């Protein structure tokens, strides 16, 4: 039974599981747990005493491995819907003892084969040895090649046992910095164990993480790394719980925040361990849903983890409902979109429709025009001066509307030119003007702003040609073309814009790009609502453009070198690429943007942009990340190139715009 | 004029060039140098005062860049055969000053465009800034995409100026260990500059190195790295020369060895610099070839670098001629071959022909059989005992011949069974037996040894089923099948074999594999005569197989983890893959193998084997390299998997033998 009813939440996070012991009678074990409101169990598939090398082969040459019943004891739907297989935890594929290693290899193969036969959705793999998992990863990688649907969850402690032990002792720092003698990596950082394993398995999309959560938690920025990793489950141990005044289990504030964060990122909770809160029957009754009616038997059989489940369900249900913007964006989360090419292509009506709904954006424009009008014409001249305002890229008219509103509010007089190159949008524009009775004030020009011969010079040029990365929809080139008809002291709204970029862990996006199986997709930027993504360092400014720009000989090519430092307590991280944003100064202090630290609230016209790396780059703890970014301009196109030179050197991406470019 | 006539040497190393100043009259400059026996000149293509930003554009909008004449001043053959373009050395594409950077970008594009227009074979690029070459590499990478034939030689000092200055001072160690503040790499190691540059350019096959050689040389193992890199030219400065007793330029022993090594690896010498040895005209006459006849003019115009050229020609001519084995192997150098599959495929007559010529190999076998026969039957029993010897995989009979020779020599009596699965080879075998009159002693069995029902048990099993990596042609599986008919105390020749492996720099091999443009070729092992390859660490043993092997339950799967340490003074290096070898114990102290430190001399049946890495791995100075190697056995095939886990983690290569396997 799901943890609660949140109509908008279709993610796996609704379901909660229980880790159970091996049982010959898995049918009963499942029923018992489902009846106690768990949604699934994580159960061993074979008797834990089984060792292939000790297997007695019958005289007839057949030997039945000690599986938990036959595939017939549960229905296919029960197996696949309610059982996660747990690979034997005695397995040690990197043991120095050949016998243990070979026994482990054989058993792993046997158990995964059995789990696949049962069509289980997932199997839980035991924790690898710290930074010593070469053979384990190799065997799992072999198995991954043959899996159609089944996910493999690699069990990783959120806090390594070494760190748990050292916590709050003088050794803490020492343990944190302890290096593996061969790789040189921090051996007590469990993320490193995962990273080595998945690198060996080549980021396979069926390999994911199940995080073990106990009482001790690593620093926040260390936890944050996991958001960008494929975490499917969190195994929450009873030892992680505190006891409240009434004797019930509850979680610390930090644990609560962690669980909420996990819910928000579609991570399922699995409860595990012995019950540590022994409550009286009488204490329990107010919480049981079927009190009174339940038989003695059922009461005796009350699930020992039930109080923990109830607390988790309580956390789930009390989460804040998503805002309107979040609801709108939910279906776009981590979904790669090709950026628009509004200069080469004409937008569709649906696209205009969506963007025009973004009232925040237009109200910012209105504020900017308002301020510009007041600065441009003094109160005393207001009645005698007509200000020429040109909207370049008028679309279906929202900026015309915003400008007229601003003029009305400011009591200034306007003559508006609405320049639009898309003839289809011009149709709508005409009918809008007519409908609103703006014929006297607004002239419609159906023309590319770069070619238009304006009948007069403008005081104010209003445009909204910004992409997620600021200049990536060629606003600079368009406005350079349009400023011919701006007065020398004229105003451009926006007056400047800056792109921003920062490194991210984004395994889901990486795998989506990889699935295209070509180079071009790894050298393309994508518009994407970033969600299961870890932002590893604060974004930094990249390129800035000012308008108007009458400086002779200036051009729109740019080059920027950026150095990022990850917070020390993050630990190491894997960079799959870079998230890009913009901030635009519309006029003076009126700005508009999506750079996280200054982003305009309640605005949904822009998602971030994602620049992938062909090979994800491992950034060891304490190392700097050096990124180069170029904006290149050719006769017919504009493109970006990017490369990393520290801590390791990547190839230059998108050389000559071979994979991704924006047409002029 | 080539340095000398060595009929077998068709490499570029025969040609020697001179680096010259910019000249408006390139025609004369070339003639002068060719007449002085140089083969080509390295000449700037534009006036070195040229700066695009200072270029005055004529009122008609045209501006002629100050090129060295038009393309008509030399014939196309002269341009392409005798001129290497030298890109202006003032270029600084990573200058912090935008003007310098943009001027440099423009000039680089202009000069490379001009050079390509002239169909030059190569252009020399100025030395990049130490570990700060992002923009330079990006621009070169852009140019590389458009080059059809022209090579770009990046100029790199063999010893960095920093190290030259610190040499033999107390600071030497400090400078050597000086780290770049961002990348953390040893900034005074010029190899690092090259490595960053070529990584950014994605190992482009048209990008190579021209090494500047001066008086100061780095340690031998540091120089050795360059053998695996695409070094096309060495620019030898006059300052590198010493003066001999007669006042002539000569080189130190270390320099001489370096030049000889470069000759042997097809590297061209370019002489450069002011003449530092001012010889009297009288001193010169004994060395000039045209003395007496030459006019005053020619004598006056004697090339200032001529004495240096003569010394280089002397070094070239006095090189040892190659041995017979070297001549045989020359055409196979660095040429990737697919390993044989003698079990699945039948070898061709030509292949038998080649291998049978390897007399060293068969004399080793003869020694081994001889020793085994003496041990097996005492002198007293020699006349009464017949030893059963089976040659499994007899081919066209060379091991039968070696065995019979050994028996004759040892005065022991043999009954030989020659088992061969290739029916075509059996034809030849029959005629050999007949021709030699061995019918009484030799029984021919046309059968796969794994299926044959032998009429009696053998005392000695002789086989030669070894591949370059020992077990890679499935000797273990074949001999396990054949030992059914070996007596319990019988002898297998070979009695054991071990594979060896070591990391190498091999940029040529990497590019050849890459040119297939697929994953499979990066997960395949190749037989190859390694030549332009740097062996970075001594090879280590991998897998050993013993025969006969009557231990029940043993199998031929193997797993080995190896840790390599590069000599400290090598510096950092790039590992493109691993070179594999084998050593076999035929019998007691008679061995046979190609592992470099113990290889059997004058044997040419086996080249090394090369296991590539999909992404070359950078090994920073002082770091360890950890390699995992697996031998996997399935029902129908045997394959290897390999992975690196330090200093960085690779994917597991050839999972499930998906790309490369040997059929059973």
Contact list in B for residue A564 (CB cut-off 8 A) is: none
C-alpha–C-alpha distance, residues B110 and B46, integer Å: 10
HSE-up (13 A, CA, CB side) for residue A629: 24
Residue A655 at interface with chain B, using a CB cutoff of 8 Å: yes
Which residues of B are designated catalytic? 464, 473
pLDDT on residue A287: 47
C-alpha–C-alpha distance, residues A248 and A278, integer Å: 9
Mean pLDDT, range A77-81, rounded to an integer? 91
pLDDT on residue B456: 95
- Per-residue three-class SS string for A470-515: EHHHCHHHHHHHHHHHEEEEEEEECCEEEEEEEEEECHHHHHHHHC
Which residues of A are designated catalytic? 464, 473
Residues 127-156 of B with CB under 8 A from A: 131, 134-135, 137-138, 141-142, 145-146
Give the residue on A whose Cα is nearest the Cα of B97: A559
pLDDT on residue B539: 98
Of B182, B559, B623, the CB nearest to A624: B182
CB-CB under 8 Å, A195 with B652: no
pLDDT on residue B285: 46
Residue A41 has pLDDT above 70, yes or no: yes
Residue A658 at interface with chain B, using a CB cutoff of 8 Å: yes
Contact list in B for residue A141 (CB cut-off 8 A) is: 652, 655
Examine residue A153 and say whether the peptide bond preceding it is cis (omega within 30 degrees of 0): no
C-alpha–C-alpha distance, residues B185 and A624, integer Å: 12
Which residues 6+ apart lie within 8 Å of A134 measured at CB?
Answer: A94, A200, B561, B628, B643, B645
pLDDT on residue B64: 65
C-alpha–C-alpha distance, residues A216 and A167, integer Å: 8
How far CA A38 is from CA of A69, A122, A437, in Å, comes to 21, 17, 63
Are A333 and A532 contacting, i.e. CB atoms less than 8 angstroms apart?
A: yes
pLDDT on residue B355: 87
- Per-residue three-class SS string for A405-416: HHHHHHCCEEEE
CB-CB under 8 Å, B648 with A618: yes
pLDDT on residue A512: 97
CB-CB under 8 Å, A563 with B618: no
Which two structure tokens, joined as six digits, stand for A417?
Answer: 């030119």
Residue A59 has pLDDT above 60, yes or no: no
Which two structure tokens, joined as six digits, stand for B88?
Answer: 């202006």
The minimum CA-CA distance between A656 and chain B, rounded to whole Å, is 6
C-alpha–C-alpha distance, residues B403 and B414, integer Å: 9
C-alpha–C-alpha distance, residues A59 and A56, integer Å: 9
Domains of chain A: 12-54+63-284+294-318 (3.20.20.150), 349-464 (3.40.50.150), 496-663 (2.70.160.11)
Residue A637 at interface with chain B, using a CB cutoff of 8 Å: no
* Mean pLDDT for chain A overall: 91
Residues 535-594 of B with CB under 8 A from A: 559, 561, 563
Residue A664 has pLDDT above 90, yes or no: no
SS3 A520: helix
SS3 A516: coil
C-alpha–C-alpha distance, residues A284 and A54, integer Å: 47
CB-CB under 8 Å, B138 with A652: yes
DSSP per-residue codes, B105-126: HHHHHHHHHHHHHTT-SEEEEP
CB-CB under 8 Å, B184 with A646: yes
Which two structure tokens, joined as six digits, stand for A406?
Answer: 């601003």
Helical (H) or strand (E) element with B311: helix B306-317
DSSP code, position B277: -
b/e burial code for range A445-482 (CB count within 10 A of at least 16 → b)? bbbbbbebebeeebbbbbbbbbbbbbbbbbbbbbbbbb
CB-CB under 8 Å, B648 with A648: yes
CB-CB under 8 Å, A649 with B138: no
pLDDT on residue B53: 84
The minimum CA-CA distance between A622 and chain B, rounded to whole Å, is 11
> Residues for chain A: how many in total?
664
How far CA A431 is from CA of A285, A347, A403, A424, A435, in Å, comes to 68, 18, 18, 12, 6
CB-CB under 8 Å, B196 with A645: yes
CB pairs under 8 A between A and B: 117
C-alpha–C-alpha distance, residues A166 and A417, integer Å: 70
The minimum CA-CA distance between A249 and chain B, rounded to whole Å, is 42
SS3 B651: coil
Q: Residue B617, Cβ neighbours under 10 Å: how many?
A: 21
Of B559, B615, B652, the CB nearest to A141: B652
Per-residue pLDDT tens for A406-445?
999 999 999 999 999 999 999 999 999 999 999 999 999 9
Are B413 and B443 contacting, i.e. CB atoms less than 8 angstroms apart?
A: no
Give the residue on A whose Cα is nearest the Cα of B202: A651
The region of weakest confidence among A321-335, A520-534, B434-448, B519-533 is A321-335
C-alpha–C-alpha distance, residues A429 and A396, integer Å: 5
Contact list in A for residue B135 (CB cut-off 8 A) is: 559, 628, 630
pLDDT on residue A212: 98
The minimum CA-CA distance between A516 and chain B, rounded to whole Å, is 15
> Residues for chain B: how many in total?
664
The minimum CA-CA distance between A141 and chain B, rounded to whole Å, is 7
Of B202, B559, B655, the CB nearest to A141: B655
pLDDT on residue A107: 94
Per-residue pLDDT tens for A447-497?
998 889 999 999 999 999 999 999 999 999 999 999 999 999 999 999 999
Mean pLDDT, range A178-193, rounded to an integer? 92
Positive or negative: CA dihedral B449, B451, B453, B457: positive
The minimum CA-CA distance between A102 and chain B, rounded to whole Å, is 10
Per-residue pLDDT tens for A108-149?
999 999 999 999 999 999 999 999 999 999 999 999 999 989
Per-residue pLDDT tens for A266-318?
999 999 999 998 765 555 544 444 444 444 454 456 899 999 999 999 999 99
Segments of chain B with pLDDT less than 70: 6-8, 56-64, 68, 279-301
Chain A interface mutation, best of B198, B523, B652, highest count of A Cβ atoms under 10 Å: B652
Residue at token pair 């593996």: A180
Q: Phi first, then psi: what are they for B16, rounded to 5°?
A: -125, 140
Are A647 and A625 contacting, i.e. CB atoms less than 8 angstroms apart?
A: yes
Give the residue on A whose Cα is nearest the Cα of B180: A646
Of B134, B559, B649, the CB nearest to A199: B649
C-alpha–C-alpha distance, residues A55 and A222, integer Å: 44
CB-CB under 8 Å, B656 with A626: no
Positive or negative: CA dihedral B243, B244, B249, B253: negative
Query: Which residues does residue B663 pair with via DSSP β-bridges, in sequence order?
Result: B637
Query: How far out from the chain centre does Cα A202 lie?
Result: 20
Give the residue on B whose Cα is nearest the Cα of A563: B182
C-alpha–C-alpha distance, residues B495 and B548, integer Å: 7
């Amino acid at each position: 039974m799901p943890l609660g009813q949140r109509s908008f939440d279709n993610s796996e996070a609704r379901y909660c599981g229980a880790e159970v012991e091996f049982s010959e009678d898995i049918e009963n074990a499942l029923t018992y747990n489902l009846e106690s409101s768990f949604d699934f169990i994580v159960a061993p598939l074979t008797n834990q005493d089984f060792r292939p090398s000790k297997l007695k082969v019958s005289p007839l040459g057949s030997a039945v491995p000690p599986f938990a019943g036959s595939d017939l004891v549960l229905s296919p739907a029960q197996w696949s819907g309610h059982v996660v297989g747990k690979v034997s935890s005695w397995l040690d594929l990197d043991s120095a003892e050949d016998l243990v290693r070979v026994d482990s290899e054989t058993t792993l193969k046997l158990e995964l084969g059995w789990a696949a036969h049962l069509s289980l959705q997932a199997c839980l793999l035991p924790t690898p040895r710290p930074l010593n998992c070469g053979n384990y990863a190799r065997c799992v990688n072999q198995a991954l090649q043959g899996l159609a649907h089944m996910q493999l969850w690699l069990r990783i402690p959120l806090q390594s046992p070494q760190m748990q032990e050292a916590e709050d002792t003088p050794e803490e720092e020492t343990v944190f910095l302890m290096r593996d003698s061969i790789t040189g990596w921090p051996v007590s950082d469990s993320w490193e164990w995962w990273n080595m394993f998945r690198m060996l398995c080549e980021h396979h999309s069926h390999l994911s993480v199940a995080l073990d959560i106990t009482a001790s938690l690593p620093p926040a920025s260390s936890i944050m790394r996991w958001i960008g990793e494929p975490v499917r489950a969190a195994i929450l141990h009873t030892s992680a719980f505190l006891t409240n005044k009434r004797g019930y289990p509850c979680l610390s504030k930090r644990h609560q925040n962690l669980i909420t964060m996990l819910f928000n990122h579609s991570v399922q909770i699995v409860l595990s361990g012995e019950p540590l809160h022994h409550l009286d029957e009488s204490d329990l009754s107010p919480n049981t849903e079927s009190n009174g009616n339940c038989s003695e038997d059922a009461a005796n059989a009350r699930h020992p983890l039930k109080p923990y489940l109830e607390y988790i369900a309580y956390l789930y249900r009390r989460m804040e409902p998503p805002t309107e913007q979040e609801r709108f964006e939910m279906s776009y989360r981590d979904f790669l979109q090709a950026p628009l090419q509004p200069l080469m292509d004409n937008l569709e009506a649906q696209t205009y429709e969506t963007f025009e709904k973004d009232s925040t954006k237009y109200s910012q424009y209105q504020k900017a025009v308002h301020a510009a009008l007041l600065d441009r014409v003094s109160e005393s001249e207001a009645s005698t001066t007509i200000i020429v305002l040109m909207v370049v890229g008028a679309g279906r008219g929202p900026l015309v509307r915003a400008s007229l509103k601003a003029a009305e509010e400011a009591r200034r007089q306007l003559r508006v030119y609405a320049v639009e190159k898309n003839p289809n949008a011009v149709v709508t524009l005409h009918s809008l003007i007519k409908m609103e009775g703006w014929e006297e004030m607004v002239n419609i020009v159906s023309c590319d702003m770069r070619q238009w011969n304006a009948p007069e010079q403008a005081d104010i040029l209003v445009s909204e040609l910004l992409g997620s990365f600021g200049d990536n929809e060629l606003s600079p080139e368009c406005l350079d073309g349009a400023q011919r008809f701006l007065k020398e002291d004229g105003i451009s709204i926006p007056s400047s814009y800056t792109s921003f970029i920062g490194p991210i862990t984004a395994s889901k996006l990486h795998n989506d790009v990889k699935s295209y199986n070509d180079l071009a997709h790894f050298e393309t930027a994508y518009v994407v609502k970033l969600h299961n993504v870890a932002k590893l360092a604060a974004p930094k400014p990249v390129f800035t453009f000012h308008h108007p720009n009458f400086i002779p000989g200036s051009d729109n090519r740019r080059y920027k070198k950026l150095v990022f430092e990850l917070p020390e307590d993050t630990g190491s991280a894997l960079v799959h690429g870079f998230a890009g944003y913009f901030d635009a100064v519309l006029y003076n202090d009126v700005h508009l943007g999506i750079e996280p630290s200054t982003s305009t609230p309640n605005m949904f016209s822009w998602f971030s942009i994602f620049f992938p790396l062909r090979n994800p780059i491992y950034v060891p703890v304490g190392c700097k990340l050096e990124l180069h970014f170029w904006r290149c301009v050719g006769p017919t196109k504009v493109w970006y190139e990017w490369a990393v030179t520290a801590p390791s050197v990547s190839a230059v991406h998108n050389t000559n715009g071979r994979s991704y470019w924006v047409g002029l």
